[in-house]
Homo-oligomer: A and B are copies of this chain.
C-alpha cells in the first residue's frame, strides 16, 4: 500500500496533482486509513503512470479519459485509440510547423540587432511592422 507521497515519487507527479486528478474523476477515490489518509495499490499506480505518460506525449486530460476507457474494454475495436493518437500527431505536426516559422523570424530579429539604442532596434522595429516579416505566422497560445 502506497501513500500519496510515495505514489507521487514513483510517477513523477506532484501530490496536489494526484488529488486534482481524483477531484476531476481521472483517478478513482482510493481507500483510506482510519485517520483519513489515502492509500494506493498497483492498479492506481499503473493508471497514474499511464496518465502521466500520455500527458508527456501531449494528450489532453479529456483524450486520456477516452484512452483509459478504451483500455478498460479490451474487446472494443482498436481504431478509436488509433484515431486519438493520429489526431494528436496532427496537432504536434501543426505546432511544429508554426514554431519553425517563429524560430526563423526570431533568429532574424536577433541576428539583425545592432546593439545600439532602442531607437534603432531591429527587434522593436520588426514588432512594430508586421509587413517586414518574411514568414507568415499566426500562432497564438501554442
| Binary B-proximity of A62-100 (CB < 8 A = 1, otherwise 0) | 000001001101111111111011101100110110011
| Binary B-proximity of A105-142 (CB < 8 A = 1, otherwise 0) | 11101100111111111011001101000000111111
A103 x B89 contact (CB < 8 A):
yes
Number of copies: 2
Instruction: Tell me the A7-22 residues at the B interface (CB within 8 Å).
Output: none
Contacts of A57 in B (CB 8 A): 102, 105-106, 127, 137, 139
A78 x B116 contact (CB < 8 A):
yes
B53 x A127 contact (CB < 8 A):
yes
- A74/B105 contact (C-beta < 8 A), A67-B127, A124-B67, A130-B49 known: no
Is A55 part of the contact surface with B, judged by Cβ < 8 Å? yes
Is A54 part of the contact surface with B, judged by Cβ < 8 Å? yes
Bound complex: CA A41 to CA B61 (Å) = 44
| Binary B-proximity of A1-42 (CB < 8 A = 1, otherwise 0) | 000000000000000000000000000000000000000000
* Chain A interfacial positions (CB closer than 8 Å to B): 46, 49-50, 53-58, 67, 70-71, 73-82, 84-86, 88-89, 92-93, 95-96, 99-100, 102-103, 105-107, 109-110, 113-121, 123-124, 127-128, 130, 137-142
Lowest 9 CB-CB distances: which A-B pairs, in order?
A74-B119, A78-B121, A89-B106, A81-B123, A82-B113, A85-B123, A81-B121, A70-B118, A53-B130
